[in-house]
Amino acid sequence: MMKKLVFLMSWGCLLLGACNKMDATYDKFIKDGPVTYTGKADSVQVFGGHNRVLVNWWISSDQTIRSCKVFWNFGQDSLRVPVMKTAGTDTVKAYVNNLAEGTYSFTVYTYDAAGHHSVGTNAIGQAYGDIFQSTLAGKPFRTATKNAADNSIRVIWVGKDAKCLGTEWHFTGTDQREHDYFAPQADTTFIDGCDLTKPVSYRSLYVPDQHAIDTFYTDYKSL
């Protein structure tokens, strides 16, 4: 009986020591008070542009949020975005400029006035530049016909390019003024009111993808 009592007392001491150790560890983590997190950024999207990107996200109805930060380059670079919170869900946008062409991973945090922040939300996007520009060429046409009877030009194109928005034309009109005209991508482009004795030139407009925020242009080519 005595051995059993000694064993129970020893086991109780071990449990008490373990509990004290756990309490000390817990106290170490909460010595500055409980950890506070703000509502995290939601639905982060990155839209590519010319040596820049647009980062777009939502923030919840957490009224304590006062700002957000966007981090990239493994946290070495960041951009702070002030927030004017409304009662509901808000959309926040930030342009990250002066980026070298390439793919980037972005992390967005929200912050309250005391500096407490949310869990990070990640998204990947791409900035475009000279490499993408170098792949572009003027949209090829099959035939280009000038009609002196009505001072018009009719161009029949070769196929369609999903990245091509269309063409931009520069010419002198029959009113002897300089004109610029944008023609959306189509099988045929028709331009009238041209002074066909003067030079006519065009360039093509491209976007890297359907969500891109910037348009890229080829050099003007004479028709």
pLDDT in tens, 111-170: 999 999 999 999 999 999 999 999 999 899 999 999 999 999 999 999 999 999 999 999
Query: Residue 30: is its pLDDT beyond 60?
Result: no
State the total domains in the chain.
2
Report helix, strand or coil for 98. coil
**Domain boundary pick from 77, 99, 129:** 129
Q: Is there a single domain that holds both residue 146 and residue 184?
A: yes
Q: Is there a single domain that holds both residue 174 and residue 218?
A: yes
pLDDT of residue 18: 46
pTM of the model: 0.79
Is residue 213 within 8 A of residue 55, CB to CB? The reply is no
Report the CATH number at residue 54. 2.60.40.10
Q: Is there a single domain that holds both residue 84 and residue 113?
A: yes
pLDDT of residue 7: 39
Q: Which range of residues forms the domain containing residue 170?
A: 136-222
Q: Is there a single domain that holds both residue 141 and residue 120?
A: no
Q: Is there a single domain that holds both residue 124 and residue 49?
A: yes
Residue 2 domain-assigned (yes or no): no
Q: Is there a single domain that holds both residue 114 and residue 142?
A: no
**Domain boundary pick from 100, 129, 158:** 129
pLDDT of residue 29: 44
H-run or E-run covering 82: strand 77-82
Please work out, in degrees rounded to the nearest 5, the angle formed at the alpha carbon of residue 62 by the alpha carbons of 40 and 55: 40
pLDDT in tens, 193-210: 999 999 999 999 999 999
Q: Give, as one character, the DSSP assignment of residue 213.
A: S
Task: Tell me the backbone φ, ψ of residue 184, rounded to 5 degrees.
Answer: -60, 155
Is residue 70 within 8 A of residue 106, CB to CB? The reply is yes
Tokens of 180: 């610029």
Query: Residue 61: is its pLDDT beyond 70?
Result: yes
User: What is the pLDDT averaged over residues 83-95?
Assistant: 93
pLDDT classification of 223: cutoffs 50, 70, 90: confident
Q: What share of the chain has pLDDT > 70, as a percent?
A: 85
Q: Is there a single domain that holds both residue 188 and residue 141?
A: yes
pLDDT classification of 33: cutoffs 50, 70, 90: low
DSSP lists the bridge partners of residue 89 as none
Residue 102 domain-assigned (yes or no): yes
Residue with the larger pLDDT of the pair 23 and 86? 86
User: What is the pLDDT averaged over residues 21-25?
Assistant: 46
Residue with the larger pLDDT of the pair 33 and 102? 102
pLDDT in tens, 100-112: 999 999 999 999 9
Mean pLDDT of the chain: 88
pLDDT of residue 26: 41
Task: Tell me the backbone φ, ψ of residue 10, rounded to 5 degrees.
Answer: -65, -45
Residue 11 domain-assigned (yes or no): no
Q: What share of the chain has pLDDT > 90, as a percent?
A: 78
User: What is the pLDDT averaged over residues 20-48?
Assistant: 71
Is residue 105 within 8 A of residue 56, CB to CB? The reply is no
Q: Is there a single domain that holds both residue 163 and residue 143?
A: yes
pLDDT of residue 31: 55
Q: Is there a single domain that holds both residue 89 and residue 146?
A: no
Q: Is there a single domain that holds both residue 50 and residue 110?
A: yes
pLDDT of residue 99: 98
Query: Exposure pattern of 123-159 as b/e (b: 16+ CB <10 Å)?
Result: bebbbbbeebeeebeebeeeeeeeeeeebebebebee
**Domain boundary pick from 114, 129, 144:** 129
